Structure 1
Amino acid sequence: MNHNRLTQTTGMRVFAIINYTMLLLAAFICLLPLVNVLAVSLSSSNAANANLVKLWPVDFTINSYRMIFGRPEVHTAFWISIQRTVLGVLINNILTVMMAYPLAKSTKVFKGRNAYMYSLIFVMLFNGGLVPTYIVVKELHLVDTIWALVLPGAVPIFSIILMMNFLRQLPGEIEEAAFMDGASYFTSLLRVIVPLSMPVIATVTLFHFVGHWNDWFAALLYMNNMDDYPLQTMLQAVLKGNDIKTLDDAKLFADVSDRTLKSAQIFVTTLPILVLYPFLQKYFAQGIVLGSVKG
């Protein structure tokens, strides 16, 4: 008996070591491209263009970052991106919760559930197209406002379906107990459902954050003034424009290349997501699994 236990314990330890080794190797492989991008962004243009940079900067320089952050318009764009992301995530999350909650009920409780679900599925698969969307935004006088960046995508249907499926697997007795204590549907949603739904809320929050932070096309479409561009769109303009306004700009452009600038852009725009993800990771896996259990 002791021999079997010892063998089992040894086998479990060996399996754990192999498992952790493989996971660390996989994580290292996933990080290699990002490390390479960072190394290229901190290397000279000659080294980057000659493909001499691997995982460590060659001829270390921060001129690419000076080129990006040395412009006042980039600072303004960064602040606009923060506003757009915070406002957009807040609107997305509120509408996701408010729509997923009734859709998680049965047709006995919410008689119009199926009609709403068919409508959501239809508009998720089909849309009016780019030109009609622009006309609607223009007619609502949203062009050149931050609302043009957040309202067209205010209802994230995939997130609603994900959260709806999560809510449907919660025990109904929990909400029934709240009703017996005199709670209304709204009170039950805020005091019972939302606290229990933090894993899926964290999951959709990450989706919404990445979507708003990475989006550059909406501002290019709805903003006529570069002063209203968020960070992603502004960096696209800086990289493509390469406008030299001062002698310092001329010196910086002489020391950087398109590849080092793009690498710096990738790292700058990815960093906030890398910082946010570890705080949501433990909820993310649980939320994405539980939210896809039921149809």
Structure 2
Amino acid sequence: MKIKEKTGEKLGHFLIVIVVVAVSLTCLIPFLNTLSLSFSNKSRAAAGEVFLLPKGFTLASYKMLLKDSGFFTAFGVSVLRVIVGGGLNFILTVLMAYPLSKSPKLFRGRNVYMWILIFCMMFSAGLIPLYLTVSRLGLINSFWSLVLPGAVPIYNVILLMNYFRNISPGMEEAAIMDGASHVDILFKIFLPISLPCLATITLFSIVNQWNSFFDGMIYINTPSKVPMMTYIQQLVIPTDTTNITDPRQLENIMQSSNKTLNAAKIMIALLPILVVYPFLQKYFVTGITLGSVKE
């Protein structure tokens, strides 16, 4: 009986490894293919010769993206958006999650606020009412139009709220008996022991702020104010080359195509997330599991 159990366990582990490897390959192969396309010659890419290794290695696509000063301007806007928008997300999430983690006896009206948040998360008034609201607030073509409409990430609030509710009530009661205020409890007790969940919601905010492009398309009219994702989305290879006199730019155009250029866009867009994720991923699973269920 013991031998059968061990054999079954080994078979189960083997199947799990096979599934994990298969899922990993489905994520890794498209990434490597895109990376190879970004470094490949346009004729080899158009012929479908590129798979996991570059064919006709060239940096023409990256040169086209990096040569334009508008790219660096858009990059700066996105970095500023991550800092300001992510910071605002973090502050408002913490300040909302703490009172909502209390029972209705301590926080009257808690259930009403929760229903409002859930309703707003599930249902949206639509794009036109949102645009009209942003317009009447005078935020059109302003940096704040990229930050304020999504200042309160409701999912993050619920995640952190449930994490706070899993903290032992005895710790809070002992702090209150020692004369601690709610501000002291939040910043000296709750936040220091909630690092896994805080890292998780921070990662969510960074990814969301960095990858958003649609709001830049509808709210921003000045090219120098668009974030990088909007800039990349709108970037195309010049079709009229009659006014281009720079030999290097002409050479880059001849060596790149929409296919290789789009691959370069994707790789550049992935870089910040690839840099940040390794530092936060160790908290990711813990933050999600402990913040998603209230015992």
1:291 has 2:288 as partner = no
- 1:75-224 equivalences in 2 (<5 Å): 75-224=72-221
Separation (CA, whole Å) in 1 of partners of 2:145 and 2:128: 14
* Partner secondary structure for residue 51 of structure 1: coil
Count of matched residue positions in the alignment of Structure 1 and Structure 2: 291
Alpha-carbon distance change, 69 to 243 in structure 1, aligned in 2, over 3 angstroms: farther
Separation (CA, whole Å) in 2 of partners of 1:37 and 1:243: 27
1:66 has 2:73 as partner = no
In structure 1, runs of 5+ residues without a counterpart are: none
Stretch moving more, 239-248 or 134-143: 239-248
The match for 1:54 is: 51
Q: Which amino acid aligns with 1:262?
A: N
Q: Which amino acid aligns with 1:74?
A: F
Deviation, 1:10, is: 11
Q: Which amino acid aligns with 2:105?
A: K
- Kindly indicate whether the alpha-carbon contact (under 8 Å) linking 2:88 and 2:151 is maintained by their aligned counterparts in 1: yes
Separation (CA, whole Å) in 1 of partners of 2:7 and 2:124: 58
Q: Which amino acid aligns with 1:272?
A: P
Separation (CA, whole Å) in 1 of partners of 2:15 and 2:64: 45
The match for 2:263 is: 263
| CA deviation map 1:132-166 (0-9, x unaligned) | 21122122221222111000000111111111111
Alpha-carbon distance change, 122 to 18 in structure 1, aligned in 2, over 3 angstroms: closer
Separation (CA, whole Å) in 2 of partners of 1:243 and 1:197: 55
Deviation, 1:241, is: 6.2
Alpha-carbon distance change, 112 to 270 in structure 1, aligned in 2, over 3 angstroms: same
Q: Which amino acid aligns with 1:199?
A: P
- Kindly indicate whether the alpha-carbon contact (under 8 Å) linking 2:35 and 2:264 is maintained by their aligned counterparts in 1: yes
| CA deviation map 1:16-67 (0-9, x unaligned) | 7886676456434421110110001100001111110011000000100001
- Kindly indicate whether the alpha-carbon contact (under 8 Å) linking 2:237 and 2:257 is maintained by their aligned counterparts in 1: no
Q: Which amino acid aligns with 1:263?
A: A
**Identical residues among aligned pairs (%):** 43
Deviation, 1:236, is: 1.5
Alpha-carbon distance change, 204 to 58 in structure 1, aligned in 2, over 3 angstroms: same
Separation (CA, whole Å) in 2 of partners of 1:19 and 1:129: 43
Deviation, 1:14, is: 9.3
Separation (CA, whole Å) in 2 of partners of 1:232 and 1:241: 19
Alpha-carbon distance change, 242 to 167 in structure 1, aligned in 2, over 3 angstroms: farther
Deviation, 1:294, is: 2.2
Separation (CA, whole Å) in 1 of partners of 2:42 and 2:237: 17
- 1:2-21 equivalences in 2 (<5 Å): none
